[in-house]
Every structure is written in structure tokens, then in C-alpha cells.
Amino acid sequence: MSKEGSRASWNFTYEKGLADLLHEHNHEKFRGQNGWVTEGWRSIVKKFNEKFPSTGFTKSQIQEKEKELKGSYKAIRDARKQSGTGWNASMCMINAEPYIWDKFIVDFPKVRKFRTKTFPLYESLAQLYEVNLGAFIHYETGSIAIGDLNFTSTEPTEQQPPPPTEHVNLDDPNVGLNPFFANLDVQRASSDTMDDEVENTTSSYSGQKGDDHGKNRKQSQVAGVLQDYVNFRKKQTKKFMDELNETTKPKDDYSIKNCLALLESIEELSDEKKAMATSIFKCELNREIFINFKNPKVRLLWVKGEIAPKLRKLGRDPCVMEIFVFF
């Protein structure tokens, strides 16, 4: 059983199990804008130790691993943005010249270990950390719940539209680049007539009524701007998801066919051992591990380790041994 403060022993199976649980708890009930809430972590830790009872990891150890995975993902993501880099999707590794890697190690210290190590969880973590926009916007229904913003309040926000007497310069290139102004320009033009009526009114009653109209216009303008923002983010998110789905389409790299072809090419294994080794490819994780080995000797040692229990069992079963002698 792992103790609080001791170093937890992680492997890829445990890391993938944690990533799957983080996806399972990636909704409003368990995750806030700053990460998973207390109830979310309690559920994640409980389900993780139920799935891997031999680990006995504590909450702090699992949180530390999530923090490490997030840091590794961001380091690789930022490194991939640099010029002169490529991405091997099948190996989940960065392709770059040695001098570029030397620069990476200085600029992104956390990416050092991935110079010779794969990171199969990259795409899974991309969906986990990039799709979350820091605001719960329900894109299917179009309803909004951004931070603490209150749409019934008349208090000004930080990014409020220009006051009624201010004109928007349509020739300003910055206006065209900001999606918030798309709906604002039309509403500004339609409010000019009402502004003239308010300016021509001299009585205190009419002045107060003009102020009310100004507040109503401001509220409608804020609502229009926010709706433009939602539409903008919906399109942006759809584009991102389409690109992500394109890169995460299943490939034949880890198929049983490819694994068997590679297994048959290992001359150090007898035909009997190759036949026994085929059963390990029933597991998708085993196929992925087998294909991703770079060193053929390490791959051979791994296969021998996987079939060792079967060889020991065969050694105690003379009937089965006779069958293999026949072959």
C-alpha cells in the first residue's frame, strides 16, 4: 500500500486508466473552471483504486500525476508550435533536428525526456485540456453560463460597448478583427434616431425617460454582443473538434495483422513460441506496446516475459508437451 508522501510507482497502464477517469469526470458536477472539485477527486481516487487495487495510491499522489501529465502535454504542445518540428502520429513523438531539440530542452525543460520517449496520451489529454474553454457554454442549446457574469445586472462589465454618444469608426481595422463589434455596429445605427429624440427633450421627466431608454439599449447591446461571442466560439470549437477527430482516427498500426507480421520476423523465437505469443495480441494495449518498441532486443525480451508463464505451465503438463513435440 502506498503511503502519503512516498513516491508512487506509475506505468503506462495506470496513467491511461487515470486519463480515462479524468474524461469520465469531465463535466460540471465534478469539474470547475480551475480543475476538478473535491467531490470529483474523491470519486476519481475511489474508482482508480477499485480499478487498480494493488496500487493504493492516495489522493495527493493521483493529483500529482495529473499535474505531471498536464505539464508534459503542454510542454509537447508548445514545442510542436515551433518552426522546424514535425509530429509522428503513430509513434506519438516529436520529429526535429538535433539542434532544434537542443533549443527545446532550454525553452521547454519538461520536454527533454520525450526526445527518446513516446507520449501515447497526447491526443487524449488534448481533448481533456484544450476543449475545456474555462466557461460552461452549452453549444448544442446555445445557453450561456460564463463565469460569474449576470445578464440581468445593469452594472458595467470590463468589456462594455461604447456609450450612446460615441460613434464606431468603421474604417478602423481593429473593429473588423473583433467579433464583439459585428452586431454592435448595426444596433448603433438603429439607435441614432432615438438619441436625437433624447437630446431634444428638455424636461426632467423626458430626461429620466431617455436614461431608461439608454439602459435598455445598453442591455440589448450587451445581449447581442454575447450572442455573437457564443456563435463565434461554437464555430471555433467545431473547427477544433473536426481537426482533432481527423488526427485521432483509428489507424492500422496496432492491428493484429501488423503485430503478427512483426512477430513472424523475429528469428530468435521458435515457431512454437511464436504460436504461443499470438494470444497476447488479444489485448489492444499489448499490441500498442509491442509495435512501439524501438529496440528489437527489448521487444524480444518483452515477448519472452509474456509467454514465460505459459512455458512454465507447459513444462508441468506432459500431454501438452507431446503436442508441441509433434509440431
- 232 and 304 share one domain: no
Report if residue 95 sits inside a domain.
Answer: yes
Distance (Å, whole) CA 68 – CA 110:
9
- Residue 226, all three cell numbers: 454575447
DSSP three-state, residue 174: helix
Report if residue 46 sits inside a domain.
Answer: yes
Report if residue 33 sits inside a domain.
Answer: yes
- 187 and 258 share one domain: no
The residue among 99, 129, 159 that closes a domain is 129
- 201 and 225 share one domain: yes
What backbone torsions phi and psi does residue 33 show, to the nearest 5 degrees? -70, -25
- Residue 181, all three cell numbers: 463589434
- 291 and 317 share one domain: yes
- 230 and 123 share one domain: no
Distance (Å, whole) CA 95 – CA 102:
13
Distance (Å, whole) CA 69 – CA 92:
15
Tally of domains within the chain: 3
Structural Rg of the chain based on CA atoms: 30
Residue-number span of the structural domain to which 281 is assigned? 252-326
Report if residue 145 sits inside a domain.
Answer: no
Question: pLDDT in tens for each of the 327 residues of the chain?
Answer: 444 445 678 999 999 999 999 999 998 889 988 889 999 999 999 999 999 999 899 999 999 999 999 999 998 999 888 888 889 888 889 988 988 888 888 888 888 888 888 999 999 999 988 854 444 334 334 444 444 444 444 444 455 555 554 444 545 555 444 444 444 444 444 445 445 544 554 445 455 555 666 666 667 777 777 888 888 878 878 877 777 666 555 555 778 888 998 898 998 999 988 998 898 898 889 998 998 998 989 999 999 999 898 888 777 554 444 444 444
- 190 and 258 share one domain: no
- 44 and 120 share one domain: yes
Distance (Å, whole) CA 25 – CA 30:
6
The residue among 94, 129, 164 that closes a domain is 129
- 239 and 271 share one domain: no
- Pairing of β 86-88 and β 35-36: unpaired
